[in-house]
Structure 1
Amino acid sequence: MLPFDMMLNAFATLFVTIDPIGLAPIFLAVTSEATKQERIQIGIRSVVVAAGILLTFALVGQVILSVLGISLPAFRIAGGILLFVIAFEMVFEKRKERKSKSAERVMSDDEMHNIAVFPLAIPLISGPGAISAVLLLSSQTSNWVEMGSVLFVVAFVLSLVLFTFVVSGWVEKMLGDNGRNILTRLLGVLLAALSVQFIADGVKALIVG
């Protein structure tokens, strides 16, 4: 796969899986008691932690799978199924409800200094879906140029997450509830198509192999 094609595929997969725009209202909810400066600091810390997690899995994820005795085709199928479940939740508004509940639990415990790690970095930004997507994408690389393309896209999508955190109030006002719901459902349909492709590739590899 050409680096540009891989970057485009990686961007579509990660952008839809992580959903930077959808994270904006949740970020506002978990930082409702923070000042503007504190929100920026929390946002930066959460993205840095998430970057460390995702980049680690991108670079050594295949080694982890090898140690556990899991084949790449099997992981492609499992990861594709997981991404499809996330897509289903996005289309039917289940994912937003689940994420909001995670946010409420943290706020009720009054642990503002920890929310950058939980629930923002884990599991909202670098959750199972994002980790699976990164592993799937990195497993498709055959050289360091392609791997570099995937790593660049991971960093770029995370920079978009940070940007939406910084302008989260404006994003919330601009989209409104209806706009956000429509966008979430559209992204969910796209993720469903991508997940089916991952599953098909995994099944094909198992049959051929």
Structure 2
Amino acid sequence: MAIDFTFSMKVFSSLFAIMNPVANIPVFLSLTEGMAEGKKRAVAATTFIGVTIGCAISVTLGETILNVFGVSIDDFRLAGGLLVLLIALDMVHGSPSAQHTPQQREVGESGYDQDVAIFPLTTPLLVGPGTIATLVVFGHAAAANGEIGSLAIGLVVFLALLAVALFSAPYLGRFLSAKVTAIARRLMGMILAAIAVEMMAASLTTIFKGLVH
């Protein structure tokens, strides 16, 4: 089975843009402030495991779940592209995404300080609605075009990078100024906006072609 590294790179860049490990390192540090080093590593490990499970479920079972509710992949791709675009616009403007940022009311109800690894780090910060939508669309494309291996490579490489970012956050945080994270957020927002437009364009092309026929 031939590996399409272009598709792998697209998967990697999409996940990097939407999860943005660079911009989320200060978030990780703020949520684990005052914790012992061992506890910080435990939070990083739990977050990584949670993200890996969330990504695997989205890629493998996402379309099946859509079918249960009678939603076509093209309808979902259009809705997902719009959602990703909203997240990208927030990133470009330098403001936190409403879709990937927990509300204060949710924080208060969840026992926020007790286990930040699952909430809010794993979800919604990393595996939020935009991430899930993107992975479901890529999972469908990979299955339809025989590019499961290419998808796996892009996903595994990104998860490896995310693991490095999480476990190295206390060290990397010394070099990440507010200006660096702001620039990274805006740059990733532009890339994510382009990906979102492509998702919506592909969906609309299929939908309108079906209406014509």
TM-score, scaled relative to structure 2: 0.87
Within 5 A, what are the aligned runs for 1:7-156?
7-95=8-96, 106=107, 111-142=112-143, 146-156=147-157
**Cα drift, residue 73 of structure 1:** 1.1
Contact 1:10 1:153 in 2 (8 A): yes
- Evaluate the alpha carbon distance shift between residue 98 and residue 137 of structure 1 in structure 2; reply closer, same or farther with a 3 A threshold: closer
| Distance in 2, Cα, partners of 1:96 & 1:103 | 14
- Evaluate the alpha carbon distance shift between residue 108 and residue 32 of structure 1 in structure 2; reply closer, same or farther with a 3 A threshold: farther
Query: Identical aligned pairs, as a percentage?
Result: 25
| Distance in 2, Cα, partners of 1:169 & 1:23 | 12
Contact 2:32 2:40 in 1 (8 A): yes
- Evaluate the alpha carbon distance shift between residue 139 and residue 114 of structure 1 in structure 2; reply closer, same or farther with a 3 A threshold: same
Corresponding residue SS for 2:142: coil
Q: Which moved more, 1:125-134 or 1:101-110?
A: 101-110
1:185 to 2:193 alignment: no
- Evaluate the alpha carbon distance shift between residue 33 and residue 101 of structure 1 in structure 2; reply closer, same or farther with a 3 A threshold: farther
Q: Which moved more, 1:30-39 or 1:143-152?
A: 143-152
| Distance in 1, Cα, partners of 2:117 & 2:136 | 23
> What is the number of equivalent residue pairs in this alignment?
209
Corresponding residue SS for 2:33: coil
RMSD of aligned residue pairs (Cα, Å): 2.6
TM-score, scaled relative to structure 1: 0.89
Contact 2:101 2:125 in 1 (8 A): no
**Cα drift, residue 100 of structure 1:** 6.9
Contact 2:100 2:129 in 1 (8 A): no
**Cα drift, residue 96 of structure 1:** 6.5
| Distance in 1, Cα, partners of 2:131 & 2:178 | 25
- Evaluate the alpha carbon distance shift between residue 141 and residue 28 of structure 1 in structure 2; reply closer, same or farther with a 3 A threshold: same
Unmatched 5+ stretches in structure 2: none
Matched with 1:161 is 162
**Cα drift, residue 17 of structure 1:** 0.6
